[in-house]
Each structure stands twice: as structure tokens, then as C-alpha cells.
Amino acid sequence: MARKAAIVGGGVIGGGWAARFLLMGWDVALFDPSEAARARVARVLEQARYALPMLYEGPLPPEGRLRVSETLEQAVAEADYIQESVSEVLDLKHRVLSDILAANPDAPAGSSTSGFTPSDLRAGLGEGAGRVLVAHPFNPVYLLPLVEIVGRDGAVPGALEAVESALSGIGMVPLVIPREIDAHVADRLLEAVWREALWLVRDDIATTAQIDDAIRLGFGLRWAQMGLFETYRIAGGDGGMAHFLAQFGPALAWPWTKLVDVPELTDALVAKIAAQSDAQSDARSIAELEAERDGNLVAILRALRARGAAAGRAIAAHEERLSLAPGGGAFTTVERTIPLDWTDYNGHMNESRYGQVFSDASDRVLDAFGAGPDYVSAGFSYFTVESTIRYLAETLAGERIRAETRITLADGKKLGLSHVMSRVSDGARLAEADQLLVHVSLETRRSCPPREDIAARLTELAAAHASDKV
């Protein structure tokens, strides 16, 4: 039975939470009194369905059920986890959290607040206040893994652990902050940069576009995969961070920035920033900008995933926990969503990626009969010596595909495989492939007979597959 998450507040952040939970297999009950909430969440969910599966090499769990509740009490009833994402108005949050605690006496409640501390949120909530913690995500919630968890002090036993478990289970990376402080950690860093950026625009030092270029073409790329301190550690050379601080530390006393002061947001300054931002966006709609953002984030996160670095390492670790067993039949070997970076200038999947799908399918077969990584470590493997691919239909980014494989030949050193790749939504065949593999010794790099247990298993599978044409 699927676990239930209650999402209170259907804005951009609440919609992102709903999408993340749903696509990771949770049932979601959404409550928002605004009539526009349902449309907002539907738009966010549509974008998430397109983007999130592209991060993974296998299928996500079956999507949960979304129910839009008429009352808050109906939404949170019997929920295993509750996420509050209403506007940043403390009185409003107090009222909503009080209603949540009264309607569900057991589940932990996370707040998406950007700035309020747990003490702020818990004030006046009474006995159940210790079930409330800060669980602050970043937009888009369905792609970015970081969530700041604050509120260890004063939490009821097990609440912090329950929040960590629920959120790590849906692919988030909880950053547990030991002491509360206004705006937590990440937003305090962002505000420092934001204040300085406002001064640079106000004083006509740089435009909004130039400031964004300075970030996305320069230090932002380093921050995305290494953060701040490790970036500066490298800048210190062989002497590391100590040398960096000795060399550049004195500059902190120079009046370069205006971190404490903030320029007055006069009508003229607001108009200047808005005009520059409008020109920078080149008349693209918010939906178009969101689509571009998500596509870029998927590409960056996939690159980091391939390198096992930063946020990409978190995605790979989460995929291992999902235990993505292929579905759709006994011989299903691949099931995944096609990512954007697999497509070419014609807008469809590049021919080399069909080869990757069928190569992945072959690896799954080898794993199935015991010739996986452990067998390779023992000094034996199968090499592909011939591969024929037939392209039957276009495959587009965002489509979910499945490869089904059968063994057509198991004769001593030779192994024959036949693959069919189809679209999951309608079963349409997209490509077919036949492969011939030869068993080799990794010591001599020459062909040799497979181990007896492997040969026996192959013969058994080949016989079973002979009568099952895919």
C-alpha cells in the first residue's frame, strides 16, 4: 500500500512537492482553498513528469494517486507525512499548522518556509508543536535534491528521523542544520549575493543580464559541482585552504561589498530592474523559461551523475535504493525515459543511443545468468562481435521505452541475443537488434568456453526463450 503525503498549499513550491512525492510512488492529498491551485499544480506536475524521469537510468516507481481535498482536515487525515507550503506570513502559518496538528495527531509536519525558524513556527502551537520542523526545499522541488531540515531542538522523539527518512526516500538530500537561524543557510548565502547584485544594478555598474552571465558563465559552474569552500581550496594551490586564507583573507577588510546595506527599492530602481529583466528574457513566457531551466538542470545533473559528483552522486545513490526491477514481462531488460541529451539535431534519439539501450539490455541478460561484475572480476566476460540494428520509428525525449530480450543462441562460446525496443505508452515497436557475443578469457583476451554453471544456465534460458517470441 502506497504511503500518503499531505501537501497544504498549491503554489509553485507546493506543486513541486506534490510532483516529487507522486512520481516517487506516494499517494498525495492536496489542499489549497484557491481555485487556481489545481491548474497550477497540474502544470507543475506535467513538467515534472517530463523532466524528473530523465535523471534516472531505469523506471521510477508506479506513480501515486493525486487527490484534491475539499478541506485541510480531509487532506491530512491518515497522512504519513505533511508538508506545509503556504505564503510566508507567520500568522497564516500558525493557523494552518495548528489545524494540521489538530487534524492529524501523529505525522511529522515539515514547513517550506524560507526564513522563519522552528521556534517562530512552533510558538503557540501547544503540545504537538514538536512535530513541526523546517523542511525548506529549492525550486524546482522535483529536480533539485537539497532540503534544509531545521528543528532538532524541541522536536518530539522520532520526528526529525521520520522527516529525514520520508524525504531521502523520495530522492531528496536532507541537510540537517544543528542550530536554528533566520533564513537557515542557503538563503542567507543567496541574500548576500542578491543584495550586492541590487547595488550593482542601482549604481549602473552592471545590468541584470551581465550579472547573470557573471554567475552562469563563471563561478556558478564551479559552485554547481564543488561548492564554495572546495573551490577556494583549489585556488590556494598545494597550500590548500590555509594558503588561500593567508593570501586573500586581508581583502575581506577592504570595502568591496555592501553586504549589510541594501539599496532602497524606489519606483525608479524597480522599473530599471524590471525593464532590464524583460529585455534579458527576450519576451519568453514563464512556462518557456521553466522548460529551459528544467532541461538545463537535467543535462547538468546527468553529467554530474555520470561523474559520480555532487548532486549527481545523490541521484545515483537514490536509484540504487529504488531497486528498479524491470517490469512488463519475464524478459524485460531495460525500462527508462529518454533524456534530452540523447536526442540530436533532428529532434529524435540519436542512433548511437539505440546501441546503448541494447548494450544495457545485454548487460542485464549477463547479470541474469551470473555473468555480471563478479564474473568479470573472476577473469571472464562476453564480448560483442556483431550487432545489427533496425530502426523502425522515431523515439523522442521524454518517452518511456522498454527493451525485451530473448536468447536465440547458446552454443559453447557463442551467445545470440534478440532485442525489441518499444514505446511503453502504446506498445509501438521503435527498434530491433540482433547481437552475437563470444565468451572470452580476460587474461588471454581470447575466446574460451564459459564456466560450466554459466553454460548450463544459458542452455536453460535459451530453451525457455525459444518458444517466447518478443
Question: CATH number for the domain including 432?
Answer: 3.10.129.10
User: Does the annotation place 262 within a ligand binding site?
Assistant: no
Q: Are 277 and 167 contained in the same domain? A: no
Sequence-ordered list of residues with C-beta below 8 angstroms from that of 463, at least 6 positions apart, any chain: none
Question: Within 13 A of 122's CA, how many CA atoms are on the CB side?
Answer: 23
Q: Is 13 one of the annotated binding-site residues?
A: yes
Q: Are residues 160 and 33 in the same domain?
A: yes
**318 domain-assigned:** no
> 4 and 79 in contact (C-beta within 8 Å)?
yes
Q: Do residues 92 and 148 both lie within one domain?
A: yes
Residues 246, 387 within the same domain: no
Task: Tell whether residue 10 is among the known ligand binding residues.
Answer: yes
What span, in angstroms and rounded, lies between the C-alpha atoms of 52 and 141? 10
14 is in an annotated binding site: yes
Residue 436 belongs to a domain = yes
The CATH number of the domain where 260 resides is what? 1.10.1040.10
347 and 453 belong to one structural domain: yes
pTM: predicted TM-score of the whole model, two decimal places = 0.91
Distance in angstroms (rounded) separating the CA atoms of residues 458 and 384: 16
| Long-range CB contacts (within 8 A, 24+) of 186-190 | 186/136, 186/138, 186/146, 186/148, 187/114, 187/115, 187/136, 189/228
Establish if 245 belongs to a structural domain.
Answer: yes
* Residue 263 preceded by cis peptide, ω within 30: no
Helix (H) or strand (E) holding 68: strand 66-68
Measured CA to CA, the distance from residue 5 to residue 180 in angstroms comes to 25
The answer to the question of whether 312 is labelled as a binding residue is no
| Residue 93 near residue 25, CB atoms below 8 Å | no
295 in a known ligand binding site:
no
What's the structural domain count of the chain? 3
Which are the contacts of 207, defined by CB distance < 8 A and separation ≥ 6?
Answer: 201, 276, 280
**Sequential pLDDT tens for the chain (470 residues):** 789 999 999 999 999 999 999 999 999 999 999 989 999 999 999 999 999 999 999 999 999 999 999 999 999 999 999 999 999 999 999 999 999 999 999 999 999 999 999 999 999 999 999 999 999 999 999 999 999 999 999 999 999 999 999 999 999 999 999 999 999 999 999 999 999 999 999 999 999 999 999 999 999 999 999 999 999 999 999 999 999 999 988 888 887 887 778 899 999 999 999 999 999 999 899 999 999 999 999 999 999 999 999 999 999 999 888 854 433 334 899 999 999 999 999 999 999 999 999 999 999 999 988 999 999 999 999 999 999 999 999 999 999 999 999 999 999 999 999 999 999 999 999 999 999 999 999 999 999 999 999 999 888 888 888 866 54
Pair (196, 151) in one structural domain: no
Pairing status of strand 109-111 against strand 132-136: parallel
**Residue 364 and residue 239 share a domain:** no
Residues 386, 419 within the same domain: yes
Q: What is the spatial distance between Cα 274 and Cα 156, in angstroms, rounded to a whole number? A: 45
C-alpha cell at 325: 526491477
- Beta bridge partners, 111, equal 84, 134
Quote the domain boundaries for residue 371. Answer: 332-466
